[in-house]
Amino acid sequence: MPHFAANISMMFTEFDFLDRFQAAANCGFRGVEFLFPYDWPAGELAKRLLGNGLTQALFNVPPGDWQAGERGLAAVPGREQAFRDGFERALDYAESLRCKQLHVMAGLLASESDRPSAHACYVENLAWAADRAAQSGVRALIEPINTRRDMPGYFLSTTAQARDVMAEVGSDNLYLQCDLYHVQIMDGNLADTITENLSKIRHFQIAGVPGRHEPDNGEINYPFLFSLIDSLGYDGWIGCEYRPAGATVDGLAWAFDFGISGHGGG
């Protein structure tokens, strides 16, 4: 059966952030992910994980100035030192949280004319990051994010582009984060995308399309895809990166059907 990790940046928002660990555990989740940990001391987050029997599946490398609109620095020429400093900070948190995977956000492309320089910067930064992560026993992951609805201008937007970048970097510690919500919006053809890329996928994420709500709400047949992923031998995490349409617990029937069990989020 799939191993589901609750994305507590988006789920259980009825609770203060630090209380979401317990809320997720009470609903039967054994793993969590979130966008960024940097507003909280690593020791406090580690205590919440340990106290609730949770594994930290993934989090993002610092994205730059999120409030100012930055969405990653890896493909932003001129920000190389800020990217590397942020990556070192992420590794420190990963060690404290016993997290073995980091998502390296590419960033926004100012214009298509800047793509060649952004690409060169991205490849160089990823080669450094993959090597540096390997020294710490951590995987570096990249994720195509849709530019049609959620993040216009994001540098990395399709699975094919991600595979080309990984091939150019040539590292055995650079992997694909496959968010099926984004893939459906940009490419569709989910079953073939999963099958053809599973050797490089180390983390899945899910949400309903459209709306980015519960995965049983929308056009994607997730039960079919979960069975496919199982049949292919994938044993990693599937991150639930969706926005509940109402109270989080009220929308978890889909998860209970796949083995999540608990007494609610309180």
Q: Could you list the active site residues?
A: 143, 241
Beta strands 55-60; 31-33: pairing state: parallel
Q: How far apart are CA 24 and CA 179, in angstroms?
A: 20
Q: Which helix (H) or strand (E) holds 191?
A: helix 190-197
The DSSP code for 236 is S
Of 90, 80, 84, whose CA–CA distance to 121 is shortest?
Answer: 80
Of 64, 58, 65, 17, whose CA–CA distance to 41 is shortest?
Answer: 17
Helix extents (H) in 98-175: 115-135, 159-169
Residue linked to tokens 């496959």: 178
Q: How far apart are CA 260 and CA 27, in angstroms?
A: 7
The first and second tokens of residue 83, run together, are 């990217």
Partners of 3 in the beta sheet?
A: 237
Contact 223/190 with Cβ under 8 angstroms?
A: no
Half-sphere exposure of 124 (CA within 13 A, CB side): 16
Backbone phi, psi, residue 17, to 5°? -55, -45
